[in-house]
Amino acid sequence: MKKEWNVVDILRYARHDWLNKLQLIKGNIALNRLDRANEIIEEIIIEAKHESSLTNTKLNLFAGYIMTYHWNSLPLRLEVEVLGEVKDLSLYDKELYEWFVPFVQVLEEHSDYTEENHLSISLLFDSSSVRFFFDFSGILTGSNDVNEWLTQYEYSPHLHVVSQEVTTNEASVVIELNEK
């Protein structure tokens, strides 16, 4: 079930995230781990740049889901990176969102909650295409079910599956955007 966020909720969760990050930095400085404090700062900068690029795609539903996902207690950790010259993809936002949310739900249903489970999302913009790479690492208790869902999903004309592979430790899906 999708939570509807109001402005106060968004600000509260964003403030909480920033305070956690600042406390990590402060704690490492207090322990005289300056190298680790600098690493955390660099990680924050990289994450912020990728989130900024993601929002510049105008994939508002998709980006909003990714950027607020960790505000709930869920079994996956989502990470995003955006590579290449970003362009406006707002025309495809709903289609991508309507595929992505159930995909994440299937991964959640079949992830071992006792393990660390990561979903890395990469958007690659190049001169001829836009590709989305979804790479899961962790433990899937129902890898056959995830593979079956991917195989049976009816993709829109604008989303083309380039490749998919699912094992008990990994899942990889590459989708190319057909902008024609």
Which tens digits make up the pLDDT trace of 109-122? 999 888 899 999 99
> Any idea which residue has 């083309």 for tokens?
160
The closest of 135, 116, 127 to 175, measured between CA atoms, is 135
Q: Are 131 and 83 in contact (CB under 8 A)?
A: no
Mean pLDDT across the stretch 14-28? Answer: 90
Q: Please give the residue that has the higher pLDDT: either 135 or 143.
A: 135
Stated pTM of the model: 0.86
The domain segmentation of the chain, as residue ranges, is 7-177
Using DSSP's 3-state secondary structure scheme, residue 175 falls into strand
How far apart (Å, rounded) are the C-alpha atoms in residues 2 and 159?
A: 23
Which tens digits make up the pLDDT trace of 36-78? 999 999 999 998 999 999 999 999 999 999 998 888 777 899 9
Beta strand pairing call for 118-125 and 130-137 = antiparallel
- Please give the CATH topology (third level) of the domain spanning 7-177: Heat Shock Protein 90 (3.30.565)
62: number of Cβ within 10 Å: 26
How far apart (Å, rounded) are the C-alpha atoms in residues 119 and 170?
A: 10
Proportion of the chain above pLDDT 70, given as a percent:
98
How far apart (Å, rounded) are the C-alpha atoms in residues 115 and 156?
A: 33
> Any idea which residue has 């660390």 for tokens?
116
* 1 pLDDT more than 70: no
